[in-house]
Chains A and B, each alone.
Chain A
């Protein structure tokens, strides 16, 4: 949905030429079409930028050096994905990491979980057939179940953990600083630049799509989406427009002395705090990976109950 009247104003400015082309828009359809359009392309545009906005908050997690956060995230991904397919209890300890980051960074959980939901069909798709294909069984509460259910659950947990960790990294660091961290790790400039420009141009592209959709809908009231007959010219137009726009952005960058290195001008020294953050988490991941923490806590509980 459209966020505010200011956004409507902005669209008005951007689309003077396209709206001028609408000769006889029907007010009722127009309204509905506009709402539909905002919900699609326009919305995804604002969504993408939303993570960047979260990254500008100022909390203890946001202040940690981007390189430390990147390395911790990589360590987390490696640790989580290294678990065996039947090992679920060990994975549970790793929920401690995203929960801690959520709390300390004050990132609204909904904004991350919404994106996790977007990816969830992919994760479910990977494991949904496991219960059918695995032939071993186990008994739970008198019901015989395929061990596939365990591996399916393990895939779900691993997927949720890794995607959340990656999203949290972007939301607490921001693309610019993340790119800086990649450069510090020695990732070649060309790849980092590719990543950054792709990220920037996604919004350029979706904005262009939104404009074209709007212009189309205004002259095709009563139609849902874009008719298949127009797909070819629609896509062609989009490519040409994006080329032009991308070239102008590129020229604007070059005119201000851009030579290929993205400089965000922040203090890049690795402080003791960053080192403590990095080593603390890696120590935690190592312990959680090697020892069965939930099992250990469980046995302490039972021992306490007995004595």
Chain B
């Protein structure tokens, strides 16, 4: 389906202080693809995500969602189709209850309250926290907050999910839950992260960003086992690909 396509054409972006964060990036993501965006700190991952969602506008180049160009005019329609989960759930949860937070998006689109309710419960069911609906977001644990912030985006029924570090700051069990959750989604997924093991599990395709440019774009398993490439981009092999500390010592 072409309207789920996300395309970047010759994107460039400089911050007001002159720092050139994105340099001439082009790519195309098709319906149902799961793409990991990886790169060292400051490589430009977050900036790229903000350009894709229209939170920033490129200095040159363009972003296309389906056949629609992201501009100020098309933003309301674009944002309904792109769901962005922020790195820090505290930034995303600002209402007084989890329910209100999840309902915030649908209400902004003027849906009637019955449909809003249905969507909220469906989103909460999907992330497995319907029992937390009346709790105050600031009282939840890290994992629960993460689930709630993902639900706030699911309730808008986006075609494309964009996530910035979805597993950051989570304990191993909560991280595992989020990974299983991400795997269960059939949406087109774009996940920016330093958690390369998570990327390896959830994404089929990987884009490596270095100094604001795409250093490599291809099959996840191939790129994430390329130690030389990862090293040159300020990364290292995912832990699951590195040798077992016990066995490798024996062999070595």
Contacts and interface: CB of A to CB of B under 8 A. Distances in A.
B86 A256 contact: no
Interface stretch (A49-57, A68-76, A82-90): A49-57
B70 interface: no
A254 B55 contact: yes
A203 B79 CA distance: 27
Interface of A: 6, 9-10, 13-14, 16, 49, 52-53, 55-56, 174, 176, 200, 203, 245, 248-249, 251-259, 261, 263-267
Contact of A257 (B88, B108, B142): B108
B169 A16 contact: yes
A255 B139 CA distance: 24
B12 interface: no
Contacts of A14: 90
Interface in B90-124: 90-92, 94-97, 100, 103-105, 107-110, 113, 116
B97 A252 contact: no
Nearest to B93: A252
B94 A265 contact: no
Given A56-B134, A265-B107, A266-B113, A252 B94 contact: yes
Contacts of A53: 96, 136
Contacts of A259: 76, 108
B84 interface: yes
A52 B152 CA distance: 20
Instruction: Sort A-B residue pairs by CB-CB distance and give the 4 closest, nearest first.
Output: A256-B105, A257-B108, A263-B107, A248-B91
A52 B139 CA distance: 13
Contact of B103 (A9, A249, A265): A265
B156 interface: yes
Contact of A252 (B92, B110, B142): B92
A53 B136 CA distance: 8
A249 B80 CA distance: 18
B76 A256 contact: no
Contacts of A263: 107-108, 110
A259 B72 CA distance: 12
B107 A264 contact: yes
A16 B80 CA distance: 34
B153 interface: yes
Nearest to A246: B91
A9 B100 contact: no
B97 A56 contact: yes
Given A256-B152, A257-B105, A263-B107, A6 B139 contact: yes
A9 B141 contact: yes
A256 B91 contact: no
Contacts of B107: 263-265
Contacts of B103: 265
Contacts of B94: 200, 249, 252-253
Contact of B86 (A248, A257, A267): A248
A74 B109 CA distance: 33
A266 B169 CA distance: 35
A245 B90 CA distance: 10
Contacts of A176: 95-96, 100
A288 B164 CA distance: 60
Interface in B65-85: 76, 79-80, 82, 84
Contacts of B167: none
11 contacts: A49-B138, A52-B96, A249-B91, A251-B91, A253-B94, A255-B79, A255-B86, A256-B153, A257-B79, A258-B104, A265-B113
B53 interface: yes
Nearest to B169: A13
A245 B138 contact: no
A257 B109 contact: yes
A53 to B, nearest CB: 7
Nearest to B171: A13
Nearest to A258: B108
